[in-house]
Structure 1
Amino acid sequence: MAIIQIPSEYGYVLLAAVSTFFVGAWHGGRVGAFRKAAKIPYPYEYASYEQVQTASPQNSKLMLAFNAAQRAHQNFNENLPIALGAMLIAGLKYPTAVGVLGAVWSVNRVVYAVGYTNSGSEGGKGRYYGALWMVSHYVMILMAGKAAFDFAMA
């Protein structure tokens, strides 16, 4: 059985992990603001295709921006558990690298969301500006797998 020692640099990992909490809260507030502007009442998750098609051009644009903000937030929520788990596991072995990758992940989740909402009427193509989150995401997953394997073999 391996004895796991928390490296002194693990604080970087925790800072990166905590940054995701702020990004998640920011996403929620952003969706709320776009919901209000688009006049989409609760409990409706999105503006429907029919609503968007029959709205005035200005309202249609607001609805598409809301849909894009909502989708960016959901994409964030879908990927957050994996990113946090990977950070916390990989950070035991590679704390400085994971601290940097986690920060890159968080910053690019914001870039992704802003790009997505600013290009909602174009299918959200602006989200690709924040695609670096995905690179850091998969690198952290691989690092977590390597760290877990090394701990299991110790």
Structure 2
Amino acid sequence: MDAPDRTLRGFVGYDMKRAFAAIQSDVNATLAPFGLRMVTFSVLVIIRDNPGLKQTQLAEILMIERPNLVVILDELEKAGFVTRRRAPDDRRAYELTVTIKGRRQCDRAVEAVAQHDARMVEGMDEAALDALHAGLRRIEANGRSSDDRRKVSRS
């Protein structure tokens, strides 16, 4: 008997969706003991790696709508992982910093996510992993090019 999703399996996007669902489920289970989810972990790592980053920059990097980012930052701030302070050069903007508690938690979570990542790509050699990364980045770039073309055609 053919797979019920055989037509869909012919599309890269569908396979990516299925793979992402598996990744998201596993990484969220991995991060739960740290009080984090995939999105809060991503935000915490970017802030840790870029102290003083402004909220608008963070939203652009992670492609998160600013109102949604505020909710995520509230969660991280309440947990004691990040602080927000007014930017001295622009009182309308906030600079983000990881607290000592947040840095420790982030470092432990990064180790756990590295183990999760290894589980997800088990059985793939280095060449296959390099090809996977290159392919995904090409798809992202093509998607951004398509977005730019759509914006121009609407003008």
> What TM-score do the two structures reach when normalised by structure 1?
0.31
> What TM-score do the two structures reach when normalised by structure 2?
0.31
Structure 1 or 2: more strand by fraction: 2
Larger RCO (alpha carbons 8 Å, 6+ apart): 1
